[in-house]
Amino acid sequence: MTPPPRFNFAGHLFDLNRERAARTAYIDDRGTLSYGQLEERSRRLAAALQAAGIRREERVLLLMLDGNDWPVSFLGSLYAGAVPVAVNTLLTPDDYAYMLDHSRAQAVLVSGALLPTLQEAMSRGGHEVRALFVSQPAGALPEGAQEFDAALAAVEPLAAPVTTASDDPGFWLYSSGSTGKPKGTVHTHANLWWTAELYGKPVLGLTEDDVCFSAAKMYFAYGLGNALTFPLSVGATVVLMAERPTPDATFRRWVEHKPTVFFGAPTGFAGMLASPRLPAREAVALRMCSSAGEALPGEIAQRFKQHFGCEIIDGIGSTEMLHIFISNRPGDVRYGTTGRPVEGYEVELRGEDGRPVPDGEVGDLYIRGPSSALMYWANREKSRETFQGGWTKSGDKYTRDADGYFTYAGRSDDMLKVSGIYVSPFEVEATLMQHPAVLEAAVIGKEDADGLTKTKAFVVLKDGSAATEDELKAFVKERLAPYKYPRFLEFVGELPKTATGKIQRFRLREKEKQ
Ligand code: 3SK
């Protein structure tokens, strides 16, 4: 089965769930949204976008906290044939200014709490925004902006989805690299369908009786599948949470809404297991958990299973492949491994000569499958490096054992994954060096007691200058997305360098291991 040539993913989901109009699709911090309401509000949003002059194929920036207006915005944009560009809510005005300019978004859908940051980004120029919709505004609206609910109330639902092809650009997600600006990863309408058919249904075995809850927000490819594509493809219910997924915030939802499937990342599972307020097994209704973002240490999965009697299914996906392509399976979990390739995806480990490596040897991970992105928008060089004749280069290193199970062996580039989110060491180093007391800096990954990667900065101060560890951490936190600041910081007299002056980060990594 493949989706038909004329295919609109939002229209497809609404057709699929028409009989479920009264069932709950979403529960957020403010209330519930039934399948019928989800369809009606999304079709109204589509009409409101059209009324604001937004046309097929035009980009719409979606800068929203997880809540019931998020899926309405995403699906409504798809329904209108527009292309939602879903962005991380933790970024800086500089980041959004770049994304507005790069995507040429003609409209923005924004949560009231994020409006000041967006306005600062828009004031930096270089955007084409003609329509602004504000969900749950905190104060007066800027001139020309529309309040989300009022905009929906002012129009009739769009009668039918705007015609789109299954291979048309459907939406974008931004993916970060070790150097340069984030890359606009362009996905099709069909790619969403493929991730549900290849992974959400057969591997996770989701059904309409499930209640899904994802710690990963919907602007991440992982969260989008967990909290939208998969549950809506089977008529399940989704719990959404705007706040940060701290252990306490997560526990509250586990106990109050009784999710049956929870999607998290290793750092989150480790934090929850360490919490004195970890709920009792009887207080929750979890039947299965999923983990991605970074490799899950086997010990964490085992302790979790011991406490809750529930498996954590570890897998790896990417923004470029849209969701998970190697995974453990319920009932077949090999702790410490990422599992086996998901059916429908081919996976190869290649050596430096580009040829497949034998079992047991480390190789670069390449994937071939139908949910691969079309390209990075307006970035031919990076597109060519990553999307190679049907194969997608992941940037991860892996080994495969004789039974076909894959084990993570690190990144091929300098990128770090902290709490499941990519962090470029160069960006953190460059920010530290903006501090007047800092001469130079080098950032590496350092494993904490749970075996999870955190950032560590080595800093050389200028002669006669002084700065404290906390001051430098705060300096980075103020200038970059808060998750990027170095958790560990050490002052050193000099950094190890090659004869040509290149920082030898591997020496710092070796030093940390001693
Ligand atoms: O980080 C991952 O493993 C992942 C999983 C699913 C979708 C996207 C990503 C990046």
Query: Is the minimum distance from the CB of 316 to ligand 1 under 6 angstroms?
Result: yes
- The residues, any chain, with a CB within 8 Å of residue 369's CB and separated by 6 or more, are 194, 198, 321, 325, 342, 344, 345, 346
Cα 460 to ligand 1 centre (Å): 35
Cα 489 to ligand 1 centre (Å): 28
Q: pLDDT digit string (tens) for 367-401?
A: 999 999 999 999 999 999 999 999 999 999 999 99
Relative to the CA of 324, which ligand 1 atom is closest?
6
Q: pLDDT digit string (tens) for 310-367?
A: 999 999 999 999 999 999 999 999 999 999 999 999 999 999 899 999 999 999 999 9
3-state secondary structure 293-340: CCCCCHHHHHHHHHHHCCCEEEEEECCCCCCEEEECECCECCCCCCEE
Cα 414 to ligand 1 centre (Å): 18
Q: How many CA atoms lie within 13 A of 181 on its CB side?
A: 18
pTM for the model stands at: 0.91
Per-residue pLDDT averaged across 257-283, rounded? Answer: 96
16 pLDDT exceeds 90?
A: yes
Per-residue pLDDT averaged across 450-467, rounded? Answer: 92
| pLDDT score recorded for residue 422 | 82
424 pLDDT exceeds 90?
A: no
Cα 366 to ligand 1 centre (Å): 15
Averaged confidence pLDDT in the chain: 95
Residue type, 82: A
Cα 316 to ligand 1 centre (Å): 6
SS3 content of the chain, % helix, strand, coil (to 5): 30, 25, 40
Query: Is the minimum distance from the CB of 292 to ligand 1 under 6 angstroms?
Result: yes
272 pLDDT exceeds 90?
A: yes
Query: Is the minimum distance from the CB of 319 to ligand 1 under 6 angstroms?
Result: yes
| pLDDT score recorded for residue 465 | 94
Q: In which band, very low, low, confident or very high, does the pLDDT at 411 lie, cut at 50, 70 and 90?
A: confident
Cα 470 to ligand 1 centre (Å): 32
Query: Is the minimum distance from the CB of 293 to ligand 1 under 6 angstroms?
Result: yes
Query: Is the minimum distance from the CB of 222 to ligand 1 under 6 angstroms?
Result: yes
Cα 110 to ligand 1 centre (Å): 24
Cα 367 to ligand 1 centre (Å): 13
Query: Is the minimum distance from the CB of 169 to ligand 1 under 6 angstroms?
Result: no
Query: Is the minimum distance from the CB of 289 to ligand 1 under 6 angstroms?
Result: no
Cα 323 to ligand 1 centre (Å): 6
Q: In which band, very low, low, confident or very high, does the pLDDT at 505 lie, cut at 50, 70 and 90?
A: confident
Per-residue pLDDT averaged across 452-470, rounded? Answer: 93
CA dihedral 401, 407, 409, 413 (to 10 degrees): 110
Mutational pocket test of ligand 1: of 174, 222, 294, 371, the residue with most ligand atoms within 8 Å of the beta carbon: 222
Mutational pocket test of ligand 1: of 218, 318, 398, the residue with most ligand atoms within 8 Å of the beta carbon: 318
Per-residue pLDDT averaged across 252-269, rounded? Answer: 96
Residue type, 424: S
Helix (H) / strand (E) containing 457: strand 453-461
- Number of C-beta neighbours around residue 478 at 10 A: 11
CB 350 within 8 A of CB 356: yes
Relative to the CA of 293, which ligand 1 atom is closest?
1
| pLDDT score recorded for residue 453 | 87
- The residues, any chain, with a CB within 8 Å of residue 429's CB and separated by 6 or more, are 440, 441, 442, 443, 457
Relative to the CA of 220, which ligand 1 atom is closest?
8
Cα 403 to ligand 1 centre (Å): 24
| pLDDT score recorded for residue 306 | 98
| pLDDT score recorded for residue 499 | 72
| pLDDT score recorded for residue 250 | 98
Per-residue pLDDT averaged across 446-466, rounded? Answer: 91
Q: How many CA atoms lie within 13 A of 37 on its CB side?
A: 14
Per-residue pLDDT averaged across 60-77, rounded? Answer: 98
| pLDDT score recorded for residue 506 | 83
Q: pLDDT digit string (tens) for 285-316?
A: 999 999 999 889 898 999 999 999 999 999 99
Closest residue to atom 5 of ligand 1, CA basis: 317
| pLDDT score recorded for residue 402 | 97
Query: Is the minimum distance from the CB of 253 to ligand 1 under 6 angstroms?
Result: no
Cα 164 to ligand 1 centre (Å): 27
Relative to the CA of 292, which ligand 1 atom is closest?
3
Query: Is the minimum distance from the CB of 318 to ligand 1 under 6 angstroms?
Result: yes
| pLDDT score recorded for residue 330 | 97
Q: pLDDT digit string (tens) for 136-163?
A: 999 999 999 999 999 999 999 999 999 9
Closest residue to atom 1 of ligand 1, CA basis: 293
Q: Give the C-alpha separation, 13 to 377, whole Å.
A: 27
> What percent of the chain is modeled with pLDDT above 70?
99
418 pLDDT exceeds 90?
A: no
Cα 221 to ligand 1 centre (Å): 6
> What percent of the chain is modeled with pLDDT above 90?
86
| pLDDT score recorded for residue 434 | 92
Closest residue to atom 10 of ligand 1, CA basis: 318
Q: pLDDT digit string (tens) for 102-124?
A: 999 999 999 999 999 999 999 99
Q: In which band, very low, low, confident or very high, does the pLDDT at 421 lie, cut at 50, 70 and 90?
A: confident
| pLDDT score recorded for residue 503 | 78
